[in-house]
Amino acid sequence: MTAPVSPPAPRTYNGLNWEGLKTLYLKEVRRFWKVGAQTVFAPVVTTLLYMMVFVVAVQGARQPIPGVDFAVFVGPGLIMMAILNNAFANASSSLIQAKIMGTATDFLTPPLSPLELLLGFGLGAATRGLLVGLATAICVWPFSRFGIEHLWAVVYFSLIASLLLGLMGVLAGVWSEKFDHLAVVQNFVVMPMTFLSGTFYAVDALPEPFATISHYNPFFYLIDGFRYGFIGQAEGVLVIGVISSFVLTVIVGWAAYEVFRRGWRLKS
């Protein structure tokens, strides 16, 4: 009798199952790309509506930052808002759907470590956020006509923001037991923090104590740093934005790693 042939071991390098990681990442990307009209192009249309409504509404009003037209000011903020919302939505919706439909075993059973699960879901969410951000930038530019003053800031803050919100989406998706729970996080945490972070206005123009409180909103530094890359001016301290966004991403990433390692609300 011929002995059964064992399946080939997954290809690894430096302890990582790269084949499994690539498969999970591509699954996440293909998942949102199959319904691209809803996941990519619909947010662009929504952003364009924001752009047109706010630019028309404040036409002739005082410039938020002296020497910077309102359309140029608000354009980068809308792009970053699209990145934040869509990166969060991708990871959170993927995990809550897997839990409700009972398909979580599809990624829990294969030989994927907690780090590989973290990278697969996090990078997949970041990819959607960046794609939506790029599409939004292309469509918003004819109305905003912004330039690029500091490319490093545009690249850094777009990457760190998409990854941070993707990891936050992982935590929200694992924590939620039904779509209502996820909607609570989206509507009462992510959306208010996004809108109240200087997307449509200069936070320094707010009365106290709201101006000071706004500087404790981590989304403010993401939007402010990203906008700095386009207009060359920042409301906050740029170094604080760079360091705080990196540290916060590490903390949220560690929390998401622990969730996958322990299987909290995934294996129980």
CA distances to 88, 155, 210 from 220, rounded to whole Å, are 16, 17, 13
Q: Which of 211, 193, 194 is nearest to 202 (CA)?
A: 211
Rounded CA-CA distance 256/117 in Å is 9
Per-residue model confidence (pLDDT) at position 161: 96
**Annotated domain spans of the chain:** 17-57+64-262
Lowest mean pLDDT among 19-23, 29-33, 263-267: 263-267
170-182 pLDDT tens trace: 999 999 988 889 9
Percent of the chain with pLDDT over 90: 51
pLDDT, mean over the chain: 87
| pLDDT surpasses 70 at 165 | yes
127-155 pLDDT tens trace: 999 999 999 999 999 888 888 999 999 99
Do residues 156 and 238 lie in contact, with contact meaning Cβ atoms separated by under 8 Å? no
Instruction: Give the model's confidence band at 225: pLDDT under 50 very low, under 70 low, under 90 confident, else very high.
Output: very high
Q: How many CA atoms lie within 13 A of 130 on its CB side?
A: 18
Write down the pTM of the prediction. Answer: 0.89
Per-residue model confidence (pLDDT) at position 1: 45
Do residues 241 and 80 lie in contact, with contact meaning Cβ atoms separated by under 8 Å? no
